[in-house]
Structure 1
Amino acid sequence: MLMTMRKVRLWTLGLCVLTIGAAAAFGARAAGRVLTIQDVVSIKVVNQPDMDTSTRVETDGTIDFPYIGRIKAAGLSEDSLARTIERRLSARQIVTDPHVLVEISNFGTQASVQGQVGAPGVYTLDRPTNLTQILSRAGGVRDVRVGGTITVRRAHGAIVKTFDSKEVQAGRGPGATLLIANNDEIFVDLAPFYYIYGYVGKPGEFPLTRPLTVQEAISIGGGLALLGTEWRIRIKRKAADGQTIDVPASLDDQVEGGDIIVVNERIF
């Protein structure tokens, strides 16, 4: 009997916790979205069509409403702003028992996502959004297998940081949880490629995800083939003027993005 009563009390306690949690979640949803600077809000006073207003949240976080003047809006939910306007109208006896409806008609908070994503563009931030989430909205990184970097620049040109694209896409590290702010610019740059041709085990295209020497690049390309030689390696590289130059290379030379490494045949 004692065990049964304990089970009933535990079940009742759990039900209360769930009920309180559900009520809190419902209350958060019912309050509406939180206003930010540059949002455009539509305000309606029931049965007072002459007071219907569409206004923008100014840079100081306020809006202007007829008969009341300036009201702090940024940081308030739609519902909280509506209650504030109702109290002001009642206090000044402008409307008896007012009922106000507030809705965000145009979000002012936005961020730009450019570079190697599926759908580059400007995205509205209608809720708290982290870097992983906004990349998903932009179609994701085009080829996350290759790797690369994601750079976030804040307004006025301040660079926040550059993150590893694989880590962010996987939802790992500080970059994944970075909250995006208004007017952030996000640029996704895939790792550059280099190419190996000639007498190697696996000629082809390879991503340059870290600093490499020619010797390391050839090793990644399967090493020298039976007839290949390390003494007659050449690199075709784009010069600053856009022209392609052909230069001899040693095994210790650094590989650059876009390099074409040509391993020649051994001379007997």
Structure 2
Amino acid sequence: MRFAKIAFLAVALTLTAGCTSYKQVPYLQNPEVVNNYGKEIPLYDAKIMPKDLLSITVNTTDALASAPFNLTVQTSINAAQENTNTTSSPSLQQYLVDNEGEIDFPVLGRLKVGGLTKTETENMIREKLTPYLKETPIVNVRMANYKISVLGEVASPGTFTVSNEKVNVLEALAMAGDMTVYGMRTNVKLIREDADGKREIKELDLTQSDLILSPYFYLRQNDILYVTPNKAKAKSSDIGSTTSLWFSATSILVSIASLLVNILR
């Protein structure tokens, strides 16, 4: 009877440990936190930051009138055959946002775009172009270097370009092939630098559904996600190094023993 109680207790503890570890695996647990959230969640819209590279086009029915606002640059192209001259092909001028959040736009001069969204920038340029054009132009602004990086315990770490200028934490992990079995879902570090150069490291718990309500759910350009390894990864690394050390020590001891046996004969 006593043995049965001990066995039952052992099984219960094993099951409890299994449940505890399982709770650290699934993403977005307790979805009712989000489903019952009473407030409206605003749509995310990326803001322009220093060192962003902008592609800006201005279009009207009169191509000649809008041409001064669509500068082009010559891009070198090497010919395939030898002993031929290098030709060039025009491409649209891109604008690098400086540390003050400004760009130098043709005719209009210096424009403050830092901190504005894409739509706000388009509206500002459209308004400033009114005196120069007979009709309301179509202005299109795109961020040409919207990139995020994912490192640590993921299947395919790397830097990824986001074409639609909108990506959340889960989508970023999907780009990197999701976490490995060694990834700590309760401690994913987000490294971010704001427009003033201030850096912060935010710890995210991907097992909690309220992550969706967090201001850190959507990534900004140049954000870095680092997936922390769990204890199992650390132990496996420890075992590997310890095993190598034991093999080396054993090999040395065998060599010394063989040497002593040969000397004492």
TM-score (norm 2): 0.49
More helix by share: 2
TM-score (norm 1): 0.49
More strand by share: 1
